[in-house]
Amino acid sequence: MKFQQLINIFWSRKRIFLSVFMMTVITTLFVSILLPKQYVATTSVVVDQRNVDPVTGLNSPVSQLLPSYVATQVDVIKSHNVARKVLEKLELSKLKLSDNQQMKKDFPQLEKDFPDLQKKFVKAGGIGDIRDWVADLLLEKLEVKPSRESNMIQFDFASSDPQLAADIANAFADAYIQTSVELRAQPAKITADWFDSQMASLREYLEHAQSVLSTYQQQEGIVDGSDRLDIEKTRLVDLSRQLVEIQSRTNELKSRKDLLASILKQGGSFESLQEVLDSKLIQELKTELAVREAHFAEISQKFKKGNPQYNQAEAQVTSLKKEIQSAVLMVLNSINSMVTSSKQRDDMIAKALAEQKAKVLDLKKKHDQIAVLSREVESAQRTYDEVMHRAIQTRMESELSQTDISILNSAYPPQKAAKPKVLLNMILSIFLGGVLGVGAALLSELMDRRVRSAFDVSEMLGIPVFAVVSAPVAKENRMLWRFNLDKIEQRLNLFIRRINESKSI
Amino acid sequence: MKVKVSEINNKCDNEVVNTDITASIGDLLLDAGKISPSDVERIIAFQKQKGVYFGEAAKALGLISDDDIQKALSNQFDFPHLMASEESFSSELAAAYQPNSAQVEALRAVRGQLMLRWFIDVHKTLALISPSRNEGRSCMAANLAIVFSQIGERTLLIDADLRQPRQHALFNLQGGYGLSDVLAGRADLSIATRTTVFRDLFVLPAGTVPPNPGELISRGLKNCLQQLQIQFDVILIDTSPTEQGLDAQLIASLCGGALLVARKDKTKLDALQMLKETLQDTGIQCLGAVLTDF
């Protein structure tokens, strides 16, 4: 298919092309003119970027920066929930299934945009609430345009009444803000309620832990702290020290006693014994004995045995010696008794020590128990406090009535109708008509191929074409393009020549 | 230059219309009664003064029109044709009325091609064939016949379209016998008429429209053509459209060759291709095609 052939086809099928083209354009024009006028009112809201949580005063993560944020907002705006709120705001909440005429009377503002609402609703099935149905109708006329680079969202509402368009656009913005407040508060509220329910159980648990602790303390008579345990511990230490001392002494005494016993066995004198030496009585007796013995020695020299004086002196020495003996025996006895008493004390202290040890261990055990209990109480307290804090916060959040969305421009009744856009429609129809016309021309040619040029014949039939005998009277519309081009060229040349002439003049 | 029809109706052997080829334009114009002898003197005086041709001088003096000069010139050069004012033939015969138009130049190109490809040896007959009506076949045949006759070929145009004949209307031949009568045996071949203007052009109209064109043509056309080939150099046959019957193919097979005629923007390519294939299948040579566009 050569270009020349295409040109030929279009030239010869120009009627079909033109008729299709004109049909398209004229139809579009009529439809554009006859379509009811639509006024579009616009509200814009700004989604503010305050990253500070109004309740806690903390920096919250910037959710607005998420790419899905604005898209979510758009979905929220286009939700049925918001549309229902708009109905409330427009005082259309009284809308209910009734008589068609009655409805027209009651809600004249709806009649313009949605004529015969009642009938249509019934036709559509008439199931459910008519308000839901109307809400969906409103949504169809709403266009939400989030701006690409900024946090602005624009609402366009189209209606055949400019005032109504503005009212509904504004109502949509308000309803959206209200909904977004609810959306924010609702989860907080649920959380707060949940926290409250948790609080009760936590409080119970805390009280229980505390009561367990106090009962135990009462039971065991332990007040608080570890003073008593410390006292007991020092006592234990003292006792053990005492025991060590006493045991060493006992051992010493024992060794002495053993020594005495061995001396007794061997029949040695006790003179050299420390205790004997230490005993004042014995020393005195000994000094006296020495005196007496000296005296007796004198006497014995002077007197002979049997002399009374001698006898007296001898009797004195002997008695003294007996005394000393008895004194030494006493000392020995005393050592013996000391050993026994020391042993007794040993035993006593050892017993006391064992008792004290048991006591301390017991006390320690109890203290550990108390520590466990009080730790439990503490942790319960801590949990309770934290939950309490969060509960208060969420409760506050749930009652928060501000959002980060604010209305930038309120809608006002537009002066000019936005739809139908006659000019745009015309331009589009010209394009569409052109495409359709070309399509129709090509299709009609395909259905019915005609001889368009010598080339067609020579190509299809494979025979030479001797000539194209054209009209004797040069009907220009039947001429080949080449001739037309020649004509144009001639005219151009003439024109240029004239210009040159005029210049030379 | 009028030649009586009765004279031409005789056998067209060597009869020549006397045209004095050496005659000057002045004489021709005088003969035609366009100027008087007194005018001639004025014209000659003007001619000497300005140094132009006689014809131009006469035109400048306003004695004659462009048409008169053209007419005289074509006589001088033995190139017969008609002025638009002389309405003896149909205006569709461009070769007669506008010999210098692009259309006729194209016809001459076709003539040249046919002379080279077909009439160069034994072939003398050629059928003009087209798939359907109103494709300019008859007109093409008539015009081609005229341009063939203008190069001195003895040309016969036969109107074999026995269904809706047109040649008698084109050449203004009222009534009378024609091919159908010859084939039916009611007339002989001498009814081929020499045209008034073109010396070497003879036309055999279709004659009475018969009820059985197909049978007539298959009956006796072959003989006719054999006889006519003796007398003529070029025999062009106008046929009925192939979609109306087999006459055209029959005639084409008698001729041995066919020239396809198709109208631009009207003839269906499929029909044309079918026609060409059928012709080739029956051993008829398709010389080529001519497109009409008027």
The three-state secondary structure class of A91 is coil
What pLDDT band is residue A121 in, cutting at 50, 70 and 90?
confident
Q: Sort residue A134 into left (φ over 0), alpha (ψ -120 to 50) or beta.
A: alpha
Task: Indicate the average pLDDT of chain B.
Answer: 81
How close does chain B come to A490, measured CA to CA in Å?
Answer: 18
Whether residue B289 has pLDDT greater than 60:
yes
Cβ pair B294:A454 closer than 8 A: no
Who contacts A500 (Cβ-Cβ below 8 Å, separation ≥6)?
none
Who contacts B205 (Cβ-Cβ below 8 Å, separation ≥6)?
B159, B165, B167, B168, B171, B173, B176, B178, B179, B193
Whether residue B17 has pLDDT greater than 50:
no
Give the tens place of pLDDT for each residue, B175-198: 778 898 888 888 888 888 887 778
User: Can you give the pLDDT at residue B127?
Assistant: 92
CA distance A32 to A423: 9
Residues of chain A that touch chain B, judged by Cβ-Cβ distance less than 8 Å? 12, 448-454, 456-458, 460-461, 463-472, 474-475, 478
Upper half-sphere CA count for residue B26 (Cβ side, 13 Å): 14
Whether residue A485 has pLDDT greater than 70:
no
User: Can you give the pLDDT at residue A313?
Assistant: 82
Q: What are phi and psi of A263, to 5 degrees?
A: -60, -45
Q: Are B54 and B24 in contact (CB under 8 A)?
A: yes
User: Can you give the pLDDT at residue B13?
Assistant: 38
Cβ pair B269:A454 closer than 8 A: no
**Which residues are B128's β-sheet partners?**
B238, B259
Cβ pair B265:A12 closer than 8 A: yes
User: Can you give the pLDDT at residue B20?
Assistant: 46
pTM of the model as a whole: 0.52
Average pLDDT on A24-51 reads 84
Termini Cα distance of chain B: 32
User: A127-141, A474-488, B76-90: which range is least confident on average?
Assistant: A474-488
Spatial CA neighbour of B160 closest among B75, B245, B89, B232: B245
* Percent of chain A whose predicted confidence (pLDDT) is above 90: 11
Spatial CA neighbour of A146 closest among A224, A222, A46, A51: A46
Cis (ω within 30 of 0) for the bond into A187?
no
User: Can you give the pLDDT at residue A479?
Assistant: 46
Cβ pair B268:A450 closer than 8 A: yes
Average pLDDT on B255-264 reads 90
Give the tens place of pLDDT for each residue, B43-65: 888 888 888 888 788 887 777 77
Helices A227-266 & A308-398, crossing angle to 10 degrees? Answer: 160
List strand residue ranges (DSSP E) for A238-285, in order.
none
Average pLDDT on A50-54 reads 61
Cα angle at A419 between A417 and A423, to 5 degrees?
105
Give the tens place of pLDDT for each residue, A387-441: 888 888 888 877 776 677 888 888 888 888 777 788 888 999 999 999 999 999 8
Structure tokens that stand for A32 in this block: 């554009």
Q: Are A346 and A245 in contact (CB under 8 A)?
A: no
Cβ pair B101:A472 closer than 8 A: yes
Length of chain A measured in residues: 505
Give the tens place of pLDDT for each residue, A267-311: 666 666 676 777 788 788 888 888 888 888 888 888 877 788 888
Cβ pair B286:A469 closer than 8 A: no
Q: Which residues of A touch B263 (CB under 8 A)?
A: 451
Give the tens place of pLDDT for each residue, A351-371: 988 998 998 898 888 888 888
CA distance B41 to A332: 211
The three-state secondary structure class of B205 is coil
Q: Are A428 and B239 in contact (CB under 8 A)?
A: no
User: Can you give the pLDDT at residue A60?
Assistant: 60
Q: b/e string for B271-283 if b means 16 or more Cβ within 10 A?
A: bbbebbeebeeee
Q: Are B293 and B261 in contact (CB under 8 A)?
A: no
Who contacts B226 (Cβ-Cβ below 8 Å, separation ≥6)?
none
Selected for mutation to probe chain A from B108, B260, B293 (highest A CB count within 10 Å) is B293
* Of residues A464, A469, A474, nearest to B140 (C-beta): A469
User: A34-43, A88-97, B194-203: which range is least confident on average?
Assistant: A88-97
CA distance B290 to B263: 8
Q: How many CB atoms lie within 10 A of CB A272?
A: 9
* Percent of chain B whose predicted confidence (pLDDT) is above 70: 90
Task: Please spell the DSSP secondary structure of B232-245, one letter per residue.
Answer: -SEEEEE---GGG-
Who contacts A81 (Cβ-Cβ below 8 Å, separation ≥6)?
A179
What pLDDT band is residue A476 in, cutting at 50, 70 and 90?
very low
User: Can you give the pLDDT at residue A186?
Assistant: 82
Q: Are B229 and B124 in contact (CB under 8 A)?
A: yes
Task: Please spell the DSSP secondary structure of A120-145, one letter per residue.
Answer: HHHHTT--S-HHHHHHHHHHHHEEEE
